[in-house]
Structure 1
Amino acid sequence: MTSENLRATLLCVFGMVIVGSSVSLSQLILDYPPLTGQAARYALAALALFGIARVFPRLGAAAPAAHPTPPPGPRAGRRAPLRPRPSGTRPTPRERGILALLAATGLAAFNACILVALPHADAAAVGTVIGAAPLGLALLGPLLRGQRPTLRLVAAAGIVVAGTAAVQGAGRTDAVGLLAALGALGGEIAFSLLAAAVLPRLGPVRVAAHSCALAVPLLLVAAVPAGEPGRWRLPTPVEAATLGYLAAFMTVLAFLAWFTGLRRLGVERAGMIVGVMPLATLATAAVQAGRLPDPGQTLGVLVVALGLALGLTTRGGGQSVERSAARTASA
C-alpha cells in the first residue's frame, strides 16, 4: 500500500469511527422532531462547509487541467505556454442534478428510511442490512464504469459484511422494517457512488457543502406529512449542543474525511471501510456500559478486520475516482 493510499485509508477509517462513536448521542434528541432535527444539523454543517470553502478556496480542490499544446503554427518551434483551464467552483447543471440526487437519497431518504424502520425492526436488524453496503459498492462501483468486479474485492467485502452481521446480531423485523432498511441500504450505497461522480472537479469541501444544503429543504418538506410542524419548538440546551456536535463532527469532519479518502481509494476499497462504523459503535457502547463485548461480537470484529486486510491489500482492485473520471473523459 502506498503512503497516499495509507493516508486515504486512515481518513476513511477516521470518518467511520466518528460516525460510529456518535450514534449513541442520537439518544439525546429522541424527543425532538427527528426530520426537523436532521434539517437543522445539515443546515449548520452547510454553513460551516461553505465558510471553509470561502476561507480556504483551494482546500481539497482538484488540480486544474491544462489546455493541450496547439500544433506548430507559422512560428514553428515555439510552443504556446500552457494555460490552466479554470476548474471552477460552481457546480454545472449536471453536477447540481447529481448533488440533488445525493442529498435526496444519501441524506434525506436515508434518514427517513431509518425513522420508518426502527418502529418495525430492532436497531441490530437495521444495522445488519445497512452493513451490506460494502458488498453493494464492490459490485456496483466497477459495473458503473463498465468493468467486471474484482473477485478478491468482492470476497473481501463479503467477509466484512459477514463480520458486521456478527457484530450487530440478527435482530427482529417485519416486512415494513425490512423494506425500510433496504431503502436505507440503497441510500448508503448511493451516498458514495454519487459523490464519486462529482468529487474530481468540485473536491470534498464543496461536495459536502452543496449536498448538505440541498438536503435541508427536502427534510423540511418530508417533515410536513410526518406531522412535525405541530411539534416544532426551540431545542433544549442539551438538544442544541447535541445537534451542534452532530453537525460539526458527524457531518463536517466525518464527511470531509470520508470524501477525501473516497476520492483517492475509489468506491470499492473505501466502501469496505463502512464496516468500521458498527465496530466503533460497539466499542463506544462497551466503554459506556463498562463491560467487554460478548464472544460473538468479538469474533465479528476479527472477521471484519480480516476482510479489510484482504481487500485493502488487493493489487489492481478498485480505482480512484480521479483516475476513473480521467478515463471517462478520454474515452
Structure 2
Amino acid sequence: MNTNVSTITPRVEIRGLSQAAGAMFLVGTLAGVSGVIGDYPVYGGQALRYLLAAATLFAVARIAGLGFVRLTPRETALLVALSLTGLVIFNVAVIEATRHSGPALVGTVLGTVPLALALLGGRPTPRIVGAATVVVAGATLATGLGSGDLPGLLWSLVALVCEICFSLLAIPLLPKLGAVRVSAYSAALAVPLLVVIGLLVDGTAMLRVPSSSEALGLAYQSVIVTTVAFFLWYDALPRLGTETAGLFAGLIPVGAIVTGLILGLGAPSVPDLAGAALVVTGIVIGLSAAASPSAATATGSPAAGARPPATPVNSRAAEACSPTAPASSPAAATRPPTVRAASHSPAARPATTPTVAPVPEAGPPVNPASSPVNGGTFRRHS
C-alpha cells in the first residue's frame, strides 16, 4: 500500500518551514537594531557580538551533551570558509556598501538571495524559479531601489555572494556537526578574524565600554539575531533544501519593516506594504510547488525515499515460506511462490494446511536520534 508523503513527514515540514521563516524574520530585525549601535566601533562591536554568541552556543551544546567532533581537513576548510565569508566578509561588505550607497541598495541586492539559491541549489522547477522571482520583486519593492555608486554596487554583490555561501557551505557540515555545532564553531572562528580587521582599521579604538542602549543592542544581535537565528536556519536547511528555504530570505525586509514600526522609526509606506504582500505571495507559490505530488514523488527526492515499497504483504510471506529458495536468497525476493501438484500419497499429503501469519506493513524509516542525519546526538535532547 502506498502511503501519501503528506502523512509521513508533516511535522518535519511544518517545523522546517516555521524555523526558516523565523530565522529570516529575525535577520530582518538587524537593520532596525543596528541604528541603536550605529556609533559604536563596527568591527569591535561585531567581535563582541560573535564572542557572546559563541559562548552561548557552546553552553547550549554542553547542556545538550554534544561533545567535540574531530573534523577532517576538508571539513575544517569548509568551516573556516563559512565563517570568513558568511560572517566576517559579509558584515564588512554590508558596512562598506552602506557607507557608499546607503542601506537601500544593499537591501535590494540581498533581496535576490531566493532566486540565487533556487538556481544554485539543484534542479529547480519552473514554478520554484517563478516563486523566487516574485519574492525578489517584493523584497526589491519593500527595500526600495535608492541611489548608489559603483563601489556600493560591488560591495553589495560581495555581500550577496557571502550570504549564499552562508547556506551552501554549511550543507556538507550539518549532517555530521548539527546546527548547534556549526553555529558555535563558525561564530567562534569569526571573533579573531574581526579583531584583526578591527585593529587594522580602528586600532585600539575598536573597543570601548558601551552605553546601556548599545549594550542592549549588542546583546540582541548576539542572542537573537546570531544564536537563535543561526540555529533555526541551519536546522531548517536539511529539512527543506536550499530552494524552498531560500524563499524565506524574502522575509528580511518584512522583519525590517516591523522592527522599524515597533521602535518608532517610522510607519511603513505603501510600497513597503505592497512589497511585503508580494513576498508572502511568492513564498506561498513556492511552498505549494514544493508540496505538489509531482515534486514530492520525484525520483531521488527525500519524500520518495521515505515512502515504503509497494510490495504486497502476502507475497512476501509466501516467498519466505517457499521450499524452493531460502528466505535470505536473492532469488527468493523475485521468484513467485511455487505451486506443487497435489499428491495422492497419504504420507506426502499434509494433515493440515499451514497458515501464514501476515507480516506487518513496513512503516517509513525513522532515523535514530544518534544518526548522522540528525547531527549526532542532538536530536535526542531536542
Q: Retained in 2: the 8 A contact 1:204–1:259? A: yes
Do structure 1's residue 209 and structure 2's residue 189 form an aligned pair?
A: no
Pick aligned residue for 1:250 from 225, 231, 238 = 225
Q: Which residue of 1 aligns with 2:325?
A: none
Q: Which residue of 1 aligns with 2:256?
A: 281
Pick aligned residue for 1:138 from 118, 123, 131 = 118
C-alpha spacing 1:98/1:31, structure 2 compared with 1 (3 Å): same
Q: Which residue of 1 aligns with 2:165?
A: 190
Pick aligned residue for 1:18 from 20, 26, 30 = 26
Q: Which residue of 2 aligns with 1:300?
A: 275
Q: Retained in 1: the 8 A contact 2:167–2:242? A: yes
| Residue deviations 1:221-250 (CA, integer Å, cap 9, x gap) | 111332343443222333223212211111
TM-score (structure 2 length as normaliser):
0.71
Greater Cα offset, 231-240 or 9-18: 231-240
Equivalences, count: 290
The amino acid of 1:92's aligned partner reads: T
Per the TM alignment, residue 207 of structure 1 is displaced from its structure 2 partner at its CA by: 0.3
Q: Retained in 2: the 8 A contact 1:21–1:280? A: yes
How far apart, in 1, do the equivalents of 2:227 and 2:15 lie? 19
Matches within 5 A, 1:51-200: 51-57=59-65, 89-142=69-122, 148-200=123-175
Pick aligned residue for 2:36 from 28, 32, 45 = 28
Secondary structure of the residue aligned to 1:225 is: helix
How far apart, in 2, do the equivalents of 1:242 and 1:291 lie? 19
Per the TM alignment, residue 126 of structure 1 is displaced from its structure 2 partner at its CA by: 1.0
Per the TM alignment, residue 287 of structure 1 is displaced from its structure 2 partner at its CA by: 3.5
Pick aligned residue for 1:220 from 195, 206, 216 = 195
Secondary structure of the residue aligned to 1:195 is: coil
The amino acid of 2:177's aligned partner reads: L
How far apart, in 2, do the equivalents of 1:291 and 1:36 lie? 29
How far apart, in 1, do the equivalents of 2:223 and 2:206 lie? 25
How far apart, in 2, do the equivalents of 1:295 and 1:151 lie? 30
* Between structures 1 and 2, the one with greater helix share: 1
Q: Retained in 1: the 8 A contact 2:260–2:267? A: no
How far apart, in 2, do the equivalents of 1:213 and 1:25 lie? 22
Q: Which residue of 1 aligns with 2:309?
A: none
Per the TM alignment, residue 54 of structure 1 is displaced from its structure 2 partner at its CA by: 1.2
Q: Which residue of 2 aligns with 1:48?
A: 56
C-alpha spacing 1:92/1:167, structure 2 compared with 1 (3 Å): same
Q: Which residue of 2 aligns with 1:75?
A: none
Secondary structure of the residue aligned to 1:196 is: coil
Q: Retained in 1: the 8 A contact 2:124–2:243? A: no
Per the TM alignment, residue 292 of structure 1 is displaced from its structure 2 partner at its CA by: 4.6
The amino acid of 2:184's aligned partner reads: A
The amino acid of 2:126's aligned partner reads: L
Q: Which has the larger radius of gyration?
A: 2
| Residue deviations 1:270-289 (CA, integer Å, cap 9, x gap) | 11101111111112213434
Q: Which residue of 2 aligns with 1:81?
A: none
How far apart, in 2, do the equivalents of 1:121 and 1:195 lie? 30
| Residue deviations 1:258-300 (CA, integer Å, cap 9, x gap) | 1111121111111110111111111221343486522222221
Q: Retained in 2: the 8 A contact 1:195–1:259? A: yes
C-alpha spacing 1:290/1:105, structure 2 compared with 1 (3 Å): closer
How far apart, in 2, do the equivalents of 1:291 and 1:196 lie? 38
Q: Which residue of 2 aligns with 1:237?
A: 212
How far apart, in 2, do the equivalents of 1:192 and 1:299 lie? 28
Per the TM alignment, residue 42 of structure 1 is displaced from its structure 2 partner at its CA by: 0.5
Q: Retained in 2: the 8 A contact 1:43–1:213? A: yes
RMSD between superposed Cα atoms in Å: 2.2
- Which structure ranks higher in relative contact order (CA pairs < 8 Å, sequence separation ≥ 6)? 1
The amino acid of 1:50's aligned partner reads: F
C-alpha spacing 1:32/1:287, structure 2 compared with 1 (3 Å): closer
Q: Which residue of 1 aligns with 2:356?
A: none
Secondary structure of the residue aligned to 2:201 is: coil
Per the TM alignment, residue 15 of structure 1 is displaced from its structure 2 partner at its CA by: 1.3
C-alpha spacing 1:238/1:295, structure 2 compared with 1 (3 Å): closer
Q: Retained in 2: the 8 A contact 1:104–1:215? A: yes
How far apart, in 1, do the equivalents of 2:197 and 2:74 lie? 25
Greater Cα offset, 239-248 or 46-55: 239-248
C-alpha spacing 1:288/1:235, structure 2 compared with 1 (3 Å): closer
Secondary structure of the residue aligned to 1:3 is: helix
For structure 2, list consecutive stretches of 5 or more residues without a partner in the other structure: 1-5, 306-371, 374-382
